[in-house]
A and B are shown apart, each in its own frame.
Chain A
Amino acid sequence: DVQMTQSPSNLAASPGESVSINCKASKSISKYLAWYQQKPGKANKLLIYSGSTLQSGTPSRFSGSGSGTDFTLTIRNLEPEDFGLYYCQQHNEYPYTFGAGTKLELK
Chain B
Amino acid sequence: QVTLKESGPGILQPSQTLSLTCSFSGFSLSTYGMCVGWIRQSSGKGLEWLANIWWNDDKYYNPSLKNRLTISKDTSNNQAFLKITNMDTADTATYYCARSSGGLGFAYWGQGTLVTVSS
Contacts and interface: CB of A to CB of B under 8 A. Distances in A.
Nearest to B64: A95
**Which of A36, A53, A94, A100 is packed against the most chain B CB atoms within 10 Å?**
A94
A95 B109 contact: no
A45 B111 CA distance: 11
Interface string A52-75: 010100000000000000000000
Contacts of A34: 104-106
Interface string B78-119: 000000000000000000101010011111111100000000
A101 B47 CA distance: 9
Interface residues of A, number: 23
B113 to A, nearest CB: 13
Contacts of A46: 105-108
Contact of B62 (A48, A89, A95): A95
A89 B104 CA distance: 11
Interface in A19-42: 34, 36
A36 to B, nearest CB: 8
Interface of A: 1, 34, 36, 43-46, 48-50, 53, 55, 87, 89, 91, 94-101
